Amino acid sequence: MDSWTKLFIAAILIMTVVLAVITYLKAKRHYDRMQQHGLRASGVVVRNKISWGRTTTVRPIVRFVTQDGRTIEGLSTSGVAFAVPRYPEGAKVALLYDPENPHDFMLVSADRRYL
């Protein structure tokens, strides 16, 4: 391999690592903000959305009622890269939502932790 090829591969690897770190930090910041300021609610999975592509992702669509009585239905950002839904239709889920923007919510699960 010539030096330009090595340099190109190194640049791609560095950009991939930087992108992964940025993605992680954004997700952690959102998680921390929701833990501090989010309001708790119970919701129900009304259906699952399957996104086909290189990786098949299944994400639940959740309906819940805010503390001020508004009914919200939205696509969760949590999903799994499997063809089998993690949360079946009708499953009750706990969630945290932003009181200023209830469509910004996250499901509360014991297995999602950031170190």
Q: pLDDT (tens digit, 9 = 90+) per residue, 17-57? A: 999 999 899 989 988 999 999 999 999 999 999 888 888 88
CB atoms inside a 10 Å sphere around CB 85: 18
Distance CA 77, CA 58 (A): 10
- Per-domain residue ranges of the chain: 1-37, 39-115
Question: What fold is seen in the domain 39-115?
Answer: OB fold (Dihydrolipoamide Acetyltransferase, E2P) (2.40.50)
Residue 58 in contact with residue 80, Cβ under 8 Å? yes
Give the pLDDT confidence of 55-98 residue by residue, as tens digits. Answer: 888 889 999 999 999 999 999 987 666 667 788 899 999 999 99
Check residue 114 and give its pLDDT: 37
Tokens of 2: 């010539």
For the purposes of burial, counting CB atoms within 10 Å of the CB of 105, is it exposed (0-12), middle (13-18) or buried (19 or more)?
Answer: buried
